[in-house]
Amino acid sequence: MNYDSLGYYAVLNADNESTPDFIKRSYYEKAKYWHPDHNTNPKAIEMFQKVSVAYEVLNNPKSRLEYDLLSIVYSQKEFPILGSLKIYKNQKDKDDNALRVLKQRKVLHGQVKETKDICNIREAGNMVLATSISNWLKGWWGKGGFKKTKAAIRYNLAATEAFDADNLKLLIHNAIAYAQEKNTEMAWVYAKQAEAMAAQNAFVVNKIAQYIDLLAYKPQKTVIIPYWNDKELRTRQYLFPFFLGFVALFVFLLMFVNQGFFSSTLSSDGYYEAVIIGNRIVPSDMVENHIVKLDTSDTDITALAHFKQDCTIYHGPDTRYSPLANVLKGQTVRIAGHTYNKAWYKIVLDNGETGYVHKNNLIKGIGNPVPKGSKVYKGYNK
């Protein structure tokens, strides 16, 4: 495999595996041939300069290795000035040994914008969250917005791994840039990260390993190799949709309340407050607290009454509660309480159940005979 972005090997008829002796012999041959003192070719001066520059870089083990590494990650068009590399820093323009290239896609009005930011994991977390919020709030609108936003969300989730050519380029670049600035520890940390990222390419790993050996860095303390937590970044991308889901659920429940599924609205008489039990609407404990309870028993004849007509008994003191039972004219019941205004009476049926009936349906005193075993009254059975 030949990485030779600027053609330095090619101009000397060499490659990455050529020995120093071969490169030296080739240089002398090429320099002699293209020397403008005896070569009249119009390109002689240009070629002689190329040969000289190539030899100057490849004859030195350190600069040759740096050229090899940079050729792995840079094309000819973007190749940096060898020997004066700019150090990439974090968003606060500070030295940082844990940088990555964070790539994201943001959709706005149907247009997709892709960004590349050099940042550490904390800065990446804030950027990821901001992009997620923007896409979920603004990305769906515009022509093709839904499809583009869906694709952007998938892309952003995958890109958090930061394990690609752009990131290998950053790591190798900073390793060399810090070495040129005599910051050997930072150079070593970046080189070790690059070595781990290039694990599947034996040629690249070998070149990085050679560079690490060339640095000859012997840590005098424990040096921690930074870990890029891509799982944390993916989690942050889920935060806003989870928040939206929570808000949607809250609104949904409010709609149920407003539609009467969980009614907490009191009527003018102050007695209608309901909860749902199964498919029944029954009074809440607060309603029961407003009922005047009478101290009656199944032996108290004065507490008996009967129905003046066929009617319905309800679970609570209002026709909006669920019906409890339909009763016939003349049936005898026991009164156990009433609302403050005595518009509704709480009654006990033969089976012991309690319900509410409007005052217009009741007549004081015994009506039809009370059946044996009734919970209404034990002192009168025919």
274-364: what CATH class?
mainly beta
Q: What is the mean pLDDT of residues 200-217?
A: 94
What pLDDT sits at residue 380? 59
- Give SS3 for 283: strand
Pairwise CA distance, residues 119 & 226, whole Å:
13
Q: What is the mean pLDDT of residues 112-137?
A: 94
> How many percent of the chain have pLDDT more than 90?
67
- Sign of torsion, CA 173 176 178 184? positive
Confidence of residue 265 (pLDDT cuts 50, 70, 90): very low
What pLDDT sits at residue 257? 57
Tokens encoding 365: 């005193």
Question: First CA to last CA across the chain, in angstroms?
Answer: 111
Q: What is the mean pLDDT of residues 89-110?
A: 94
What pLDDT sits at residue 325? 92
- Contact (Cβ atoms closer than 8 angstroms) between residue 345 and residue 304: no
C-alpha R_g of the chain:
43
Q: What is the pLDDT of residues 132-187, one digit of tens each?
A: 999 999 888 878 888 999 999 999 999 999 999 999 999 999 999 999 999 999 99
Lowest mean pLDDT among 79-88, 153-162, 266-275, 362-371: 266-275
Beta-carbon neighbour count of residue 141 at 10 Å? 13
What pLDDT sits at residue 256? 63
Confidence of residue 286 (pLDDT cuts 50, 70, 90): confident
pLDDT higher than threshold 60 for residue 342: yes
Beta-carbon neighbour count of residue 332 at 10 Å? 22
What pLDDT sits at residue 117? 96
pLDDT higher than threshold 60 for residue 324: yes
Confidence of residue 51 (pLDDT cuts 50, 70, 90): very high
Q: With both helix axes pointing from N to C terminus, report the angle between 165-180 and 184-197 in degrees, rounded to the nearest 10.
A: 160
Higher-confidence residue of 222 and 352: namely 352
pLDDT higher than threshold 80 for residue 276: no
Average pLDDT value over all residues in the chain: 89
What pLDDT sits at residue 278? 63
Q: Where are the domains of the chain?
A: 8-59, 77-259, 274-364
Lowest mean pLDDT among 39-53, 167-181, 254-268: 254-268
What pLDDT sits at residue 266? 42
In degrees rounded to 5, what are phi and psi of residue 32?
Answer: -65, -40
Pairwise CA distance, residues 338 & 354, whole Å:
12
Q: What is the mean pLDDT of residues 35-57?
A: 93
pLDDT higher than threshold 60 for residue 270: no
Confidence of residue 18 (pLDDT cuts 50, 70, 90): very high
What pLDDT sits at residue 382? 46
* CATH superfamily placement of domain 8-59: DnaJ domain (1.10.287.110)
Q: What is the pTM of this model?
A: 0.66
